[in-house]
Structure 1
Amino acid sequence: MYIEQLQKFKINLGSYLVIPLAFLGLMVYNYFSTQGIDTADMMKKMTKVIGVNGTFTMLVAPLAFLFFVVLFYNKFIQNNTLRILTTSREKIDWKRIFFSFGLWSFITIATTGISYYMAPEDFVLNFKPKEFAIFVVLAFLLIPLQTSFEEYLFRGHMLQGLGLATKTRWIPLVVTSFLFGIMHIANPEVEKLGLVIMFYYIGTGLFLGVLTLMDEGLELALGFHAANNLIGALLVTSDWSAFQTHSILKDVSEPSANIQIFIPILIIFPVLLYIFAAKYKWSNWKEKLFGTIKPIDVEEFETIGK
């Protein structure tokens, strides 16, 4: 019902094109404008001028601001509600958000600890109490807004709009996953590791899309994405990553595109889907992922979210 519930309103499907096209245009411009430029080196120079925390804020704050742009557009242009953009349930389920956030935070901390134990030479202690304390405040303020913007844009606004337009579930799932991956194409990681890293980004988008469709809401995706970026930024940074941060550790190993890129997609994400499916008793996978968007009558509208 996450997509179907919008049939209750008179939706102008053209209104779903404005924000995605504007954002994608910005991404295309950003990509071509950085061709031939060593983005990692550019970020190093920026860091020398305004500092690590200043650079982090400069990169993340615009995306955090766009979160409010999406909500404003949803409320005042499309006459929609935050609840409908977020979930098919009667109200936003914060327990789902916190469960997903906590689960992925635990896994991220555990895998980082294992990596450090297995190859301590790949890391150096980067912890500076004062700078770290300031970064913690900035990270908790900005990163959840940044990740929420991406979720509300791709798994909310775009997935719902494409679902209504195509009357399918699989088309918005595939398209939004691909576009989510393409959004990261200008990241320093892509320059360092090559286009093979795009499999990880697109695969992550696919995983988040499956979460949204199977759970009939954004809550699990919101929690996972926030934990992935926030906890990761607090724990580890590197000279070639998109986020330069005052983290606890710094990865000084030479990055390479190897089988590790595919481990989350092929192993970890399927295990997470199994855990979520068991906890929330998901069923009817074929219909929820590949079924059509069917008209629903007035009586069904009254039961949405209950």
Structure 2
Amino acid sequence: MYIEQLKSKKINLASYIPIPLGFILLIFFNFFVSDGVDTNQVIQQTINSIGVNLTFILLIAPLAFGLLLVLFWVKFIQGLSIRSLTTSRVKIDWKRFFFSFFLWGTITVLMILAMYSMHPENFVWNFKPEKFFVFLFLALVLIPMQTSFEEYLFRGHMMQGLGLAFNSRLIPLVVTSVLFGLMHISNPEVDKVGYVIMIYYIGTGFFLGIITLMDEGLELALGFHAANNLVGALLLTSDWTAFQTHSVFKDISEPSAGFDVLTPVFILFPILLFIFSKVYGWKNWKEKLTGKLSTIN
């Protein structure tokens, strides 16, 4: 009932257009502007000029501000509650958020430690206490805002708007997942690995969309996304990623398009779907993911 709950509201569907349209135009503008530009070189030059932490702020602050914009728009322009944007439940289920956060956070830590144990030559110790703890503060504030913006925009605002417009679950699932992937097309990882990495980005979009529709709310997606970006940024960095940070480790190896891209999408995400489905008793997968919206009495 995550989308259906809004059918009883008097909503102008045109109010769902401005923010997604503006963001989509920004995605394609960034793509065409950066086409042929070495984005990693630009990031390195910025780091050399203003430092790692200020570069991090410069990159992430607009997305963190985007969260405030989406919440303001929904609350004061559309006249809807933040609760209805977040979940179909009577109140936001923070236990779901923290279960997802700690589950994926733990898996991420174990994967990084396993990679370090198997291939220590691919890593260098990057921990500098005075720099790390400044970054830790910045990360704890800005990264959850950045990830929440992406969830509230794609799996919240856009998914609900498209669902209402087309009386469908499948259309918003497909559209938001693809657009979520395309949002990352200007990342330096794409230059380094190639467009095959879009399998990971779009696959992640589908995973997050599926758990949102199956669980009738954003809590699990919010927790997963926050853990993915926050734990990753604190533990591991490299010279070819969008977020280059004062992390504990630095990866100096060449990225593998096969293992790094395919393992999460085709192995880890299905395992997470299985765990979530058992914990929360998900049923009627076909109807919840591909069916028409239910009628609200």
Question: Could you say which TM-score interval applies, normalised by the shorter chain?
Answer: over 0.9
Equivalent residue, structure 2, for 1:210: 210
Mapped partners of 1:93, 1:270: distance in 2: 23
Equivalent residue, structure 2, for 1:187: 187
Q: Which amino acid aligns with 1:105?
A: G
Q: How far is 1:289 from its partner?
A: 0.6
Mapped partners of 2:27, 2:210: distance in 1: 24
Equivalent residue, structure 1, for 2:199: 199
Cα shift readout 1:74-111 (whole Å, capped 9, x = no counterpart): 01111100000000000000010011000000000000
Mapped partners of 2:259, 2:63: distance in 1: 31
Q: How far is 1:233 from its partner?
A: 0.2
Cα shift readout 1:21-60 (whole Å, capped 9, x = no counterpart): 0011111111111122111111111001110001001100
2:77 matches 1:68: no
Q: Which amino acid aligns with 1:11?
A: I
Mapped partners of 1:54, 1:114: distance in 2: 31
Equivalent residue, structure 2, for 1:122: 122
Equivalent residue, structure 1, for 2:159: 159
Q: What is the correspondence of 1:200-239 to structure 2 with a 5 Å cutoff?
A: 200-239=200-239
Question: SS at the partner of 2:237?
Answer: strand
Q: Which amino acid aligns with 2:106?
A: F
Deviation beyond 4 Å, 4+ runs, structure 1: none
Question: SS at the partner of 1:274?
Answer: helix
Q: Which amino acid aligns with 1:152?
A: Y
Q: Which amino acid aligns with 1:52?
A: V
Q: How far is 1:64 from its partner?
A: 0.2
Mapped partners of 1:56, 1:217: distance in 2: 30
Equivalent residue, structure 2, for 1:242: 242
Q: Which amino acid aligns with 2:233?
A: A
Q: Which amino acid aligns with 1:96?
A: R
Q: How far is 1:295 from its partner?
A: 2.3
Mapped partners of 2:245, 2:39: distance in 1: 16
Equivalent residue, structure 1, for 2:101: 101
Q: Which runs of 5+ in 2 are unaligned?
A: none
2:19 matches 1:5: no
Equivalent residue, structure 2, for 1:36: 36
Equivalent residue, structure 2, for 1:291: 291
Equivalent residue, structure 2, for 1:303: none
Q: Which amino acid aligns with 1:281?
A: G
Mapped partners of 1:6, 1:189: distance in 2: 38
Question: SS at the partner of 2:51?
Answer: helix
Cα shift readout 1:5-27 (whole Å, capped 9, x = no counterpart): 00111111111111000011111
Equivalent residue, structure 2, for 1:260: 260
Q: Let me know the Cα RMSD of the aligned residues.
A: 0.7
Question: SS at the partner of 1:8?
Answer: coil
Question: SS at the partner of 2:7?
Answer: helix
2:151 matches 1:137: no
Q: How far is 1:288 from its partner?
A: 0.6
Mapped partners of 1:43, 1:296: distance in 2: 50
Q: What's the TM-score, normalizing by structure 2?
A: 0.99
Q: How far is 1:70 from its partner?
A: 0.1
Equivalent residue, structure 2, for 1:59: 59
Q: Which amino acid aligns with 2:177?
A: S
2:24 matches 1:24: yes
Mapped partners of 1:94, 1:257: distance in 2: 35
Equivalent residue, structure 2, for 1:91: 91
Equivalent residue, structure 2, for 1:176: 176
Q: How far is 1:206 from its partner?
A: 0.1
Cα shift readout 1:249-282 (whole Å, capped 9, x = no counterpart): 0000012322431111111000001111111111
Q: How far is 1:296 from its partner?
A: 1.2
Q: Which amino acid aligns with 1:217?
A: G
Question: SS at the partner of 2:178?
Answer: helix
Mapped partners of 2:145, 2:126: distance in 1: 25
Q: How far is 1:115 from its partner?
A: 0.3
Mapped partners of 2:168, 2:27: distance in 1: 27
Equivalent residue, structure 2, for 1:49: 49
Q: How far is 1:69 from its partner?
A: 0.2
Q: Which amino acid aligns with 1:4?
A: E
Equivalent residue, structure 2, for 1:304: none
* Percent of aligned pairs sharing the same letter: 63
2:111 matches 1:111: yes
| Segment drifting more, 288-297 vs 110-119 | 288-297
